[in-house]
Amino acid sequence: MNDTGKSLLKYARDRADVPIITKPASVNKISGRAAEILKKESAATDFYVLGYQNENERHGGQEWRKTPVVY
């Protein structure tokens, strides 16, 4: 993410009706439907990485360990 991405994210966060999660630790702040969706997204990522060519990158739980890259 660059400065433009950061600005767009701040804009969306200030106006969104749903929580915008950018760090795994923020998960503790949500509940209900948003938490259910996040769990499904995490499971989808776990399935997706199984197709990576590099075997060392084929591990689950990446949604909970990685934060966005900011340039």
Any idea which residue has 């200030």 for tokens? 14
pLDDT digits (tens, 9 = 90+) for 13-70: 899 887 788 777 777 788 888 888 888 988 999 999 999 999 998 999 888 887 777 7
Place of tokens 């934060």: 67
What is the reported pLDDT for 35? 83
The predicted pLDDT at position 47 comes to 95
CA dihedral (70, 42, 50, 59) positive or negative: positive
- Is 17 within 8 Å of 56 (Cβ atoms)? no
pTM for this one?
0.63
Confidence at residue 37, expressed as pLDDT on a 0 to 100 scale: 86
SS3 of 36-51: the string is HHHHHHHHHHHHHHCC
pLDDT of residue 32: 85
